Structure 1
Amino acid sequence: MDRDENQLARTLKVAVVGGGWAGISAAVTLADAGHDITVFEMAPQLGGRARSVAGTPDYDNGQHILIGAYRDSLALMRRLGVDPAAVLKRLPLALPYPGEPGLRLPPGPPLVAFTRGVLAHGGWPLGARLGLLLAAGGWLARGFRCDAALSVAQLCAGLPGPVKRDLIDPLCVAALNTPAPQASARVFLRVLKDALFSGAGSADLLLPRRPLSELLAGPATGWLGERLRLGARVHALEPGWRVDGEAFDAVVLACTSVEAARLTAGIAPAWSGTAQALGFEPIITVYLHSRGSALPSPMLALREGADSPAQFVFDHGALGGAPGRFAFVVSGAAPWVARGGCAEAVLAQATRELRWATPPVIDKVLTEKRATFACTPGIARPPALIAPGLWAAGDYVDGPYPATLEGAVRAGRNAAHGVVGTGANGAARGSPTNTP
C-alpha cells in the first residue's frame, strides 16, 4: 500500500460545522465509514431550519413537506431508526382548491399517471389539458433541459392561463420558493423530472404527522451522542485544519451560506464571495386556530393574489397534530416581509375562502427571512470543494436542485464522500458529483 492509500485508509478526525439536515447527513455518512467526527451546532438543538420550535416543540419552524422522490432523506431517517411510514402521511399528488378537486395523479407508471390525471381534470377546458400535455411532451423530448437564462414564466409563457395559475405557479413557488417570473426554468424542469417522471410514487406527498424534530433532528441527537456539541458557534477556521484552535484532518462546512462565507473569507476568498453573493427568499407561516374545524383534505392549494398571500394551507388535525390548527404558508414572501407581515391578510383570506365551524384566530406567526436562496436563472452557486480537506454541504451548494431537504441531505452525503475519497490532504481520487 503506497502513502496515499495509507492516508486514505486511516481514520480521519473530521469537524462538521452545522447540524441541519446537511450536517446530520454528512456526520452519519462519515461515522458509518469509521471516521472520528465532531459536530458543532450553534443552536441549542439540531435540525437547522427544518425543526420544531425550541420551547414549543408541538410547533414546527414552518410547514415542511417531502415527496416520494426524496429517497436519500428517507434512507437517512431509516438509518437513524425512524420509520417514515410512522411519521409521514403519504398521499398521491393532488392540488385541490377550496370547492374544487384540482389536479390529482392516479397510481401507476409516471407518464401514464400524469396523462390520465391531466385529462381527468374537469376544471380545465380540454384545450388547456391538451396544451399542458403537449408542453410536457416537449420537455420530455428535450430531456427536461433548457437555456439556463430562462425563467419559469418564460418557459411556460405559451401554456394556457388556467394551467399556469393552478399548476405551474403554485408548484414553482412551493419547490423553488421563488415566484415564476424570477425562478430558474432549468432547476424547475429538474424538479418536475424527478418528482413527476422518475418512478411510481415519486410525486407522492409525504406530510409530517409528528413534530418536525422527530423526523431527523431528535433521533440524530441521540445517535451522535458525545460527538455533538450544541450551542457551539465556530468563531475561526484556520488552514491545517483548526476549528477554534482544535486540530482536525478535514472540515465539512454544513452551516448556512452566510456562516460559511464568513469562515472562509481569508482562506478561499473567491468561494466566500460566491457564497456571500447569494440572495434569499423568505417564507412566512401563519398558524390559525379554529375549534371544531377541519379541511376537506389535509392540504389545500390557495390562489395567491394582491390581498391573498398564502398559496397552501395544512390541516394539522388531519395529520395527527393539534385539532383545529391550520398552517398557512406564504412562500416567496419578500413583498409581504417588506410590508411588515401578512397575518391579518391571511386571516382575511382564510375567512373568505374556507368554511369554519368557529371563527379562526391568529395563533402564531413564524417568519424565516433567509428560508432559501433565491433560485434565479443563471445563479452562481459555490462548489462543494472549497480547498483540499475543506468541503461545503448545504442546499445552496452547486447542483441541480433548489433549496430542499433532499438537496441538503445529498449535499451532506456528497461532502462526506469527498472527505473519504480524497483523504485529509484532498489528494485526487475523484470529486463528488451532485448525482441523484
Structure 2
Amino acid sequence: MSRVAIVGGGWAGIAAAVALADAGHDITVFEMAPQLGGRARSVAGEPPYDNGQHILIGAYRDSLALMARLGVDASRVLKRLPLALPYPGEPGLRLPPGSPLIAFTRGVLAHRGWPWSARLGLLMAAGGWLARGFRCDASLSVADLCAGLPAAVKRDLVEPLCVAALNTPAPQANAQVFLRVLKDALFSGPGSADLLLPRRALSELLAGPATVWLGERLRLATRVQRIEPGWRVDGEAFDAVVLACTSVEAARLTAELAPAWSATAGALGFEPIITVYLSSPGSALASPMLALREGPDAPAQFVFDHGALGGAPGRFAFVVSGAAAWVERGGCAEAVLAQARREIDWATPPVIDKVLTEKRATFACTPGLQRATGRIAPGLWAAGDYIAGPYPATLEGAVRAGLAAAQGVGADAGAGTGAKGAASGSPTNTP
C-alpha cells in the first residue's frame, strides 16, 4: 500500500482519490478552496447557483460510474432527454431513440427547418467523417472542417455544438477533438447522445457526496506551497503525488521538478464562460434548454429553465461560452437581458439576478495544441481536463484523467518506481 497525496479536489482529483482508495492506497486530498468540486461547483444562493451550467451526455460513462460509486442515483439528480437543439419558436434538430446511426439519419431528415439540400449535405459530410474514422488533419479548425456544409447547418448545429463542447469558437477550435466528441456522442451506442441536465445544485452531483466519502482524508482550504523529490508535500512524506489542480497551479508546483512539463502546462491559453441568471416569476421555457443564435448583440448560445429542472421556478441561466471578447468589453449582462427580451416571451419582465464569470473556465482547444502528459516523473502524475487526450475540457475528460493518474500511480508502485525524484516530462500533441 502506498501513501498518496492528491493535490486538488475537482472532478479529476475526486476520481483519482476514489480509484486509489478503492485500490487500497492511503490517500490524502489537499484542496485550496473551502469545498470540493473545482470549477464545477455551486455558489451561495437560495437555492444555490451553479458556477456555470454544466451538463453531461449519455456517453460520459466514467463520470456516471463515479457518481454511482459515491452513492449518487443519476436518475434522481440528472434529467435525461434525447438530444435536441430547439430554438425559441422552432423545434430544431431532434434525435429519436434507437440505434445512433439510424437515429441521427432520421433526425436530420425530419428537420423541417432546413431545406433538403442542407439535410443531405450534413448526412454526406457525416458519412465522410464516419468513413475516415472521425479523424482529420490536426491542423484543421472546426470552421475548416465544416467549410463545405450549408450555412444553416453550420449556424444551427455545428457552431453551437462546437462552443458548447470545446468552449472555443469554430474558427479557432480543434477539428480533431470536435470529431471525437461527435463520435462518442452520436455514434457510440444507444443513449450516448442524450443530454443529462442537473436537477440538483451542481455540488450535489459529486462534490458533496465525495466530501462525505473522503471524510478525514480530506484537507480543505489548504493550498500546497511546495513539492520536493521524495515525495514531500510541504514537508510531509508521501510515496506518490497526483497533481489534480489547475494547469496554472500544476505548472507552479513543477517549475523546478520538471521544467519542460511545467512550461507546457503553463503555456495553455484559456477561454472564459459567463453565466447570466435572469429572474422572471411565472415564466417558463418551451423546453428545459433552448439554443440561441449568437450575434454581435446576442452573446448567449443557450438558456436553461431551472424551474423545469427541479430548481428555482422563474430562474433562467443564459450561457455565454467562448466569452473572451465579452470579458474584454467588461461583461455582457445587459446585452443578454436585451437578447432575452427580444427572443423569448415572458410572463413577467425578466431582470438580472446574478452574473458569474469564470475567466479560466477551460483551456482554449485550438488546432495542433500541445497538452501536457499525465506522467511527469516516477511517482508524480497530473490529472485534469487539460491533460493530453482525445477530449476537450469536459467533466468526462477530467474524470478520465483522474482515473488514468490513479492507474499510473498503481503501476509505478507495482514496478517499485515511486518516490525516486523527478524527470523532465515532455509535452504530447493531442490526437
- With normalisation by structure 1, the TM-score equals 0.95
The residue that corresponds to 1:78 in the other structure is 68
For residue 48 of structure 2, give the secondary structure of its aligned residue in structure 1.
Answer: strand
The equivalences for 1:17-416 within 5 A come to 17-54=7-44, 58-416=48-406
Give the superposed CA RMSD: 1.6
Determine the C-alpha separation between the residues in 2 that align with 1:250 and 1:57: 39
Distance 2:52 2:95 in 1: 26
Matching residue within 425, 428, 432 for 2:417:
425
The letter for the 2-side match of 1:61 is N
**Contact 2:239 2:418 survives alignment (8 Å):** no
What is the alpha-carbon distance in structure 1 between the residues aligned to residue 282 and residue 360 of structure 2? 34
What code does the residue aligned with 1:260 have? Answer: A
Deviation string, structure 1 residues 329-369 (Cα, Å, up to 9, x no partner): 00000000000000000000000000000000000000000
Q: Distance in 1 between matches of 2:112 and 2:49?
A: 37
Q: Report the secondary structure of 1:391's partner residue.
A: strand
SS of the equivalent of 1:147 reads coil
How far residue 56 of structure 1 moved from its aligned partner, in angstroms, is 5.9
Q: How many residues align?
A: 422
* Residue number in structure 1 paired with 2:425: none
> Where does structure 1 lack aligned partners over 5 or more consecutive residues?
1-10, 428-432
Secondary structure of 1:166's match?
helix
Is the CA contact (8 Å cut-off) linking 2:47 and 2:311 kept in structure 1?
Answer: no
**Distance across 1 between alignment mates of 2:44 and 2:177:** 33
1:176-215: CA deviation from partner (whole Å, max 9, x where unpaired): 0000000000000000000000000000000000000000
Q: Which runs of 5+ in 2 are unaligned?
A: 420-427
Q: Distance in 1 between matches of 2:67 and 2:41?
A: 14
Aligned-residue offset at 1:422: 1.6
Distance 1:368 1:208, change over 3 A: same
CA distance in 2, matches of 1:122, 1:396: 39
CA distance, structure 2, for counterparts of residue 98 and residue 211 of structure 1: 25
Q: C-alpha separation between the residues in 1 aligned to 2:337 and 2:111?
A: 29
Cα shift readout 1:10-33 (whole Å, capped 9, x = no counterpart): x00000000000000000000000
The one-letter code of the counterpart of 2:60 is: Y
Distance 1:19 1:54, change over 3 A: farther
Query: Cα offset for 1:426?
Result: 4.7
Residue 165 of structure 1 aligns with an amino acid whose one-letter code is R
Aligned equivalent of 2:424: none
Structure 1 match to 2:422 = none
Give me the identity figure in percent: 84
Match of 1:381, SS state, is strand
Q: Secondary structure at the match of 1:285?
A: strand
Cα distance between partner residues in 2 of 1:52 and 1:167? 29
Report SS of the residue matched to 2:117: helix
Measure the CA separation in 1 of the matches of 2:165 and 2:125: 19
d(CA) in 2 for partners of 1:114 and 1:312? Answer: 22
CA distance in 1, matches of 2:30, 2:289: 36
| Distance in 1, Cα, partners of 2:347 & 2:51 | 27
